[in-house]
Amino acid sequence: MVECELSFSHASFDEAGSYKLVELTPDLTTLFENALKDDIDVNLTIKGHSNNDAVLCTDKKTFSMRSVSLSNTILVVTPVPDEKAVDFADGAVIIRDQLNEIIELVPVVPKLHKLSALIRERQYDESQEDEAEPEDDDSVKRFTYQDALEQIQSSEEELKNGLKERKILIVHDELRPIAPAYLTRLLELILNSLVSLSMKHDSASTERLLAELANEHEIPRAVSEQVMRWFGEIDTNSGKWTMNVNGIVKEVGLGILGDYRHEPIEKNVLLAKWKSQVGDTFESSVSLDLLAGNYIQSEVLGSDEIHLKYFPAFALPVDPAARFSELFLTHSKWKTDEITPFLSDIAVNSKERDKLLLKYCRAVTDAGVVRYSARAQYQG
């Protein structure tokens, strides 16, 4: 056993509270071990404002930071600096701080919901197609990608994925949500251009498609290329674009469904419109499963008709209690496959989702079918 003499630092009062202990999760431990082995840096950023809890972000994940009290005191000690060695006994170590808590890290869903509020008034549509790079104008509140990196509690990879999922363009370095109607029109132009140019959707020429959209339909290349990346993969080496069929088919369906915010649409009418818009080549990919988490359905008494109403998960509260309140005010009972799509954006994984269901719902099995009802009574 190694023995050493403990001594307080001459600056112990000034240094009190200067140190924090962070308990690493298993995947963070692996991240650091691999970084040490490969001699690469690990980027860690703590993000948060005075009115919200801080989070720790790696390049790929976001973690909540929670203080946990310890039953025993932990001493932070360091070797004696060479210039101070004469003041201490041989083998002494200096006590720099005393800790009674550690910071626990827990994976969380990135706080991307704030993006919508920050850029809501900067929607991009066909009226901006000829827009030149903006001059400095204090009356226009621009929110850039760098602003998002600094202000949004999210890792950079999660931020990039969030921009893609929320269909947010980067135009002249500014974040601009694309207007749904404009996006639907652009996707239809892409599908029509593939046909007119006799190109296969899994190996289309990126340059020819960009040129067609720019020259024939006046779509800026910077916009059409971002949209193509949202809905496929661009191979810069071969110059080919591989389309994500389900991604585009889903977005066209959402565009149709979004027109029924205030009144439902009959299911077969929706499917017919949807198939018509994607064309014969892709109509076999049309499926209501693609729209899960974006609609609620109801049956018409005395009829076989099923009506669908636009009800997107992203428009619901992000607080779990408020989310479940909204869901149960809409329907008193939900099947498992009906409710889970509305929880994917507030639960980091299926395990956390199941914890939310256990906390806020009662599960009742009826005729072999599990249905969830509210633990609390909500009133409309």
- Give DSSP secondary structure letters for 18-41: ----EEPPHHHHHHHHHHHHHT--
| Residue % of the chain over a pLDDT of 70 | 89
Tokens (6 digits) for 221: 């290349």
Distance between CA atoms of residues 27 and 71, nearest Å: 26
**93 falls in which pLDDT band (50, 70, 90)?**
confident
Domain 316-380 fold: Arc Repressor Mutant, subunit A (1.10.10)
Task: Examine the pLDDT at 298 and tell me if it is beyond 80.
Answer: yes
The number of residues in the chain equals: 380
Task: Examine the pLDDT at 140 and tell me if it is beyond 60.
Answer: yes
**138 falls in which pLDDT band (50, 70, 90)?**
low
**236 falls in which pLDDT band (50, 70, 90)?**
very high
The mean per-residue pLDDT over the stretch 293-306 comes to 84
**293 falls in which pLDDT band (50, 70, 90)?**
very high
**61 falls in which pLDDT band (50, 70, 90)?**
very high
Burial of residue 151, with CB atoms counted within 10 A of its CB: 0-12 exposed, 13-18 middle, 19 or more buried: middle
The mean per-residue pLDDT over the stretch 255-278 comes to 92
Q: What letters, b where the CB count within 10 A reaches 16 and e where it falls short, cover 336-345?
A: eebbbebbeb
Please work out, in degrees rounded to the nearest 5, the angle formed at the alpha carbon of residue 45 by the alpha carbons of 44 and 48: 150
pLDDT at 256: 92
**12 falls in which pLDDT band (50, 70, 90)?**
low
Distance between CA atoms of residues 147 and 140, nearest Å: 15
pLDDT at 328: 94
pLDDT at 85: 61
Task: Examine the pLDDT at 378 and tell me if it is beyond 80.
Answer: no
